[in-house]
Amino acid sequence: MPLDPQFRTVIDQLTAAGALPLVRASAQETRSHYRALALARRGDGYRPEPVGDVADHRVDGPAGPVPVRIYHPLEDRGRVVTYLHGGGWVVGDLDTHDPVCRRVANGVGATVVAVDYRLAPEHPHPAPLDDAMAALAWTADRYPGRPHVVAGDSAGASLAAGAALRAREENGPALAAQLLVYPATDPHMGMPSIRANAEGFFLTRADMTWFYAQYLPDPAGRTEPVVDLLRAPDLAGLPPAVVATAEFDPLRDEGDAYAGRLRAAGVAVRHVPGPGLVHGYFAFLGVVAAADARSRDVLDALDELLP
């Protein structure tokens, strides 16, 4: 189907205002730009989605305290989610993804622990994943007995998938599910959608090339299974997964392919495509109606996987 008309308008406006492409001259400038975009999307009349409670905390990490933000849902259904934000492993923080975490908390009735992991290029791989593992372990200890989901969007979904692999290999926390929203699974950027959706749809191929260069400065890192997920030799025994993709996303095909690889390995998979949508649509809640609707479909799919 064609690009959603509301997204067409948003992208045209951002382009005309000089807000796209996302990547600027340096990591710090790109972070500031991304944060300004994320906050500006909420508008003057923005009111955050109500949740039961929000509190900031710190957990012990491998290189010092890792900030986390804990969301309690309006209706607690006894689940817990460790959430890893997107942003190419370089940008994003607890504030940029606050609306997403609120939606996840209420959507599945879960306490959400959002993780402010270290960012590249100052902290390249494996630092972000190491912080994710520390937060995953803390969440499991803090909320024992709850079905535990590791979740993320974009780069955060890549970290979530890598964390699920490491948890299996390292006898880490037991996971009830993984939620992977338009995950990055192919650091070699070889899938057709990388070329077909290279420009004009919010995230670009050039953006991804730059993000990977910051996150994986050592080419050897691109072959590790927790990064090169599409070629990980063994996916058996991983937790059930919801994999959401977007039609006009450079990462669409690698997300689709990873869902297929999980299913072939015997993992229960709910694949939720995003017709007419672009990468990052979860960040446009309240702005694009189709993004709102599909976000609820994705969380409904996760809800069905959980006890």
Which residues are known catalytic residues?
154, 249, 279
The residue among 59, 72, 78 whose CA lies nearest residue 112 is 72
Please, are residues 184 and 153 in contact by the beta-carbon 8 Å criterion? no
Q: What is the DSSP letter of 280?
A: T
Tokens 């909420």 sit on residue: 42
- Specify whether the backbone of 64 is left (phi greater than 0), alpha (psi in -120 to 50) or beta: left
Please, are residues 90 and 214 in contact by the beta-carbon 8 Å criterion? yes
Burial class (CB in 10 A: 0-12, 13-18, 19+), 125: buried
Containing 296, the helix (H) or strand (E) segment is helix 289-305
**DSSP string covering 8-73, please?**
HHHHHHHHHTT--SS--SSHHHHHHHHHHHHHHTT-TT--PPP-SEEEEEEEEEBTEEEEEEEEE-
Tokens 């949740």 sit on residue: 51
* Angle at alpha carbon of residue 267, lines to 299 and 236, rounded to 5°: 140
Helix (H, G, I), strand (E, B) or coil at 264: helix
Q: How would you list the strands of the sheet with 148-153, edge to edge? A: 53-61, 64-72, 110-115, 79-84, 148-153, 177-181, 241-244, 269-272
